[in-house]
Structure 1
């Protein structure tokens, strides 16, 4: 599967216009978008509830499309909250990866699922 790069700024502009056309700006506070994001993440999780680890890798086409829709909802809300708070998502991800690399040095955590506070 060949991936495409996402243009976050275009997604944000499109979502901004989408909200404006529907006069939803008053409802799109960072708090409300964060709450909506959690709901959508829960809906994503619901598709995997009670599945085995193996089954979670082998979704039929209908289930995979449903999961894709929930992933899109999560991504849209992430883009929206970053837009509202003027957070550069690419920069935030880069900074967080540096932090994660320091917290989880490969030579210490390889093959372990422990949290960084446990080693």
Structure 2
């Protein structure tokens, strides 16, 4: 275990450094918003720190809409699993060798029986 390779973000100090760099970039961009002249089309774009507030509100609205959409788009955990086979209609092979050798012929017949057009 002592010979494991250390990656960049395994050290918590490096994570703190990246976060401080992110905070510094955000602060610099907010300061530059007061300095740089922009050609605006609407009067509300002249408000100080309009674009950071606009971006933050947009992200919050996006998360709220996504959480609301989750209520009707969410499917149960086993939704995409294959349906359970009935014991009366289908027989399942006991091992992979049976399916390959042809001993379980009923299981091979079931492979293509889920055709929508039929």
Per the shorter chain, which TM-score range? 0.3 to 0.5
Compare relative contact order (CA 8 Å, sep 6+) and give the higher one, 1 or 2. Answer: 1
Larger radius of gyration: 2
- Higher helix content, 1 or 2: 1
TM-score by length of 2: 0.32
